[in-house]
Chain A
Amino acid sequence: MNELYAICKRNVWPVFRDMPILPLLIVSFIVAIVYVPLFFTLDNLRNYLLQSSDLLIISCGLTFVVLNGGIDFSVTSILTLGSVVGAYIMALSPLAPVPACSIPVAIVVMMGIGLLVGVVNGLSVTKLKMPSFVATLATQLIVLGLAVQFTSMVSDTSSIAGLPEAFFVLGGEGRFFFVPILIAFSVWLVSYWLLGRTIFGKRVYAIGVNPRVSFISGLPVKRTIVLLMVISGLFAGVASIIATARNQVGMSSLGDKMFLTTIASVIVGGTSTSGGLGGVHKTLLGVLFITLLNNAMNLLGVGWYTMMIVLGVLIILSAVSSYLLSSRAGWTWKRKVADV
């Protein structure tokens, strides 16, 4: 028995210390199962997994950027713009009557939008030397404005309905409920592989820790930054496909609440905003945790307003604890009051 304890301590404890989100997640699950009515039902669990899916995709993309020490505010606007443009293509454009045609085109366009915005973001940071938080703040507003403008031009309401049924498969309609979950998991797997196994991933981490050392060691710093902005945008585009399919309409209010949950998932998951630390394995846990919170709170009748407060508090707590833990580990972070 003692032996078992020792083995546990040696193998399990470091994992818990490195990812404090894990025990938090487990405990929350248990609490939810016990105290939240209707949580542990098949229906709800299915919902839960579906909700996590698009959040996971978009958070994975954001993780790349945060690992580099930056941020991407535009991801949720990409979601919105993709949603309305895609819906338009599938419901109102000349291609609409031919779903076999309109759906693939819409998918390509939605991803393309993400790609394009990502390129703009990346170039703003590398060529114009703008800090990422401002560049993406600006693109967020511009893209959002475009989305709302576009919607008002093609529809009387703030949503575009009439999408082909075949498209809903991607959203987990009926017996295809596993589709978005599968897609999300694949995206996560790809991210994990990219960050953990490829040279690109290694570069992202290195540049996140110290761009100067990376530059002198021959790493293509600017190119990598543009690439990770593109990934962030692209993943947002993919998420918009799934979210639109799930909601079955194109909505100009789609991305509204999402940014907070996305950044919370990444930060609470454990990826550090100073760069170089963390990864999508942590983001996955963060996503699961935040979605759990969301789901449970919904079931308990707690509104979005409270959720906003909770998320804000969680973000601060994560940042504070990350600072306290790092001071103890004896790292030297030489920073001014703010190094963005």
Chain B
Amino acid sequence: MREQKQWSGEYLSWLTRYGIYVVLLLLVIVFSLGNRRFFTVENLLLILQQASPLGIAVVGTVFVLLVVGIDISVGRSMFFVSTLAGCLVNTTGIIPETYFADMRGPALVVVMVLLLGGIVGWINGFLVTRFRILPFIVTLATGSILRGVGLKISGSASIGVAVLGRLSNGQVGPIPNVLIIFALVLVVFDYVLRHTVYGRHLMAIGNSARNAERAGIKVNRNTVIAYVICGALGAFGGILSAGQIGSVSAGFGEGNEFIVISAAVLGGTSLFGGKGNILPGAVIGIILITTIMNGLAMMNASPFIYTIVRGLIIFFAIALDSMGHKGELR
């Protein structure tokens, strides 16, 4: 009986490791057949450009998932931070107009956004570690607060952030700016995860917080830092995405956290902690999901299919993750 289990275990692990590439390949084939314009350099670059901002948020999410946490306030944090930044820039002139003629303006906005996102992340981390509240409850609540505050600031009007267009929609040669930024973020944070003390400590915490504590690792502090990273990167991705669209509408960012979490899980990061994959996992995950969305659009799928497809994606991603894990049923 044990041999049989081993066999199916190996099969399952092969599936989870390489299955995603197979699925991506299949999807590309299906979509290409569905619409000839799908498999063009133009469209593929478009996919990458669409994927990059959210991809940055995925990287941040990986850190939180590593320590058995979760952040479902990412989407609303994106909305709040982008709205606030947009308002500050537009109404208060905190950054002089001239700065937007070159990259100084957008750069300062990014700094502002990273700060704001980091603060939000810190609040989440603090509540989770200090008061032992379940992360999804904390982030559900903070998400609502952020959305409420954001809507109050914007008055549900759209905030124009076209000034960021040069950053978000610009290109260096044939390569979109956001793709370059995404690549940089990937490289930096993958390095942090694999080669720094912090990264290894996070992995240890996710594997066994108790053993980590015994080994002298500061569990709470490292966890809070993970939430800060998630908040900052999430906000960063958000502002880039807003810049691409040109404005922050009232519904901006809603539901992004699910895309981001699904991408992370599909890429090999486990909801249950201790297992994380930025390169190539996060990349593949977000490209896969963006491909699906892009392909659906190309095939003129009805807009409501998106929601259903998103739900199905999460379902299957997490089901695969859960089936390989032993734990309590809740």
Contacts and interface: CB of A to CB of B under 8 A. Distances in A.
Q: Do chains A and B touch in the complex (CB under 8 A)?
A: yes
Interface of A: 68-71, 124-126, 128-135, 137-146, 148-149, 152, 211-212, 221-222, 225, 260, 263, 267, 273-275, 303, 305-313, 315-316, 319-320, 323-324, 333, 335-340
Given A129-B325, A145-B304, A152-B304, A319 B219 contact: no
Nearest to B146: A312
B144 interface: yes
B68 A128 contact: no
Given A131-B322, A340-B134, A222 B69 contact: no
Contacts of A132: 330
A222 B329 contact: yes
B44 interface: no
Contacts of B46: none
Contact of B323 (A69, A128, A337): A128
Interface residues of B, number: 57
Contacts of A320: 127, 131, 133
B133 A319 contact: yes
Contacts of B151: 305, 308
B133 to A, nearest CB: 4
Interface of B: 67-70, 127-129, 131-138, 140-145, 147-149, 151-152, 156, 205, 209-210, 219, 223, 255, 258, 271, 273, 302, 304-312, 314-315, 318-319, 322-323, 325, 327-330
B127 A337 contact: no
B133 A129 contact: no
Nearest to B328: A211
27 contacts: A131-B271, A135-B315, A138-B318, A142-B307, A142-B308, A142-B311, A142-B315, A145-B305, A145-B309, A222-B329, A225-B329, A260-B144, A305-B152, A305-B156, A308-B148, A309-B144, A309-B148, A313-B145, A315-B141, A315-B144, A319-B127, A319-B138, A337-B67, A338-B70, A339-B68, A339-B134, A339-B328
A131 B36 CA distance: 40
Given A145-B311, A338-B69, A152 B302 contact: yes
A20 to B, nearest CB: 16
Given A309-B145, A320-B133, A135 B310 contact: no
Contact of A308 (B129, B147, B330): B147
Most chain A CB atoms below 10 A, which of B142, B271, B308: B308
B72 to A, nearest CB: 8
A129 B325 CA distance: 8
A220 to B, nearest CB: 12
Given A70-B330, A305-B152, A309-B149, A337 B128 contact: yes
A221 B133 contact: no
A129 B304 contact: no
A307 B148 contact: yes
A339 B328 CA distance: 9
